[in-house]
Amino acid sequence: AETKIIVTMNARELLHFFAQRCCNRAQWEIRAMAVAMLRLAKTIAPALFQNAGPPCLESSCPEGTLSCGKFDEVRRYFHSLS
């Protein structure tokens, strides 16, 4: 079912949203929307969102043993977003 959604977030909340929802462990629909939003955010404020994305971009995965195990692939993908 198609849904239209309107959200209001400041930059801090957007960074938190991207950290939670860009993760491979997030549901694919919300992850696709988060990545699309991140692309838009990077075009508007590249300096602010240059390191935005899942937490495993900058450190180890907080999921522990439930990690997707695709650190290198995830890092390449998010560092290539523009």
Give yes or no for residue 56 having a pLDDT over 80: yes
- Of 12, 21, 31, 75, catalytic: 21
Mean pLDDT, range 53-79, rounded to an integer: 89
Active site residue 21: yes
The band of 5, judged by pLDDT with boundaries at 50, 70 and 90, is confident
pLDDT, tens digit, 9 for 90 and up, residues 9-55:
999 999 999 999 999 999 999 999 999 999 999 999 999 999 999 99
Structural contact between residues 31 and 20, judged by C-beta atoms closer than 8 angstroms? no
| pLDDT, position 6 | 92
**What is the rounded radius of gyration, in angstroms, for the C-alpha atoms of the chain?**
13
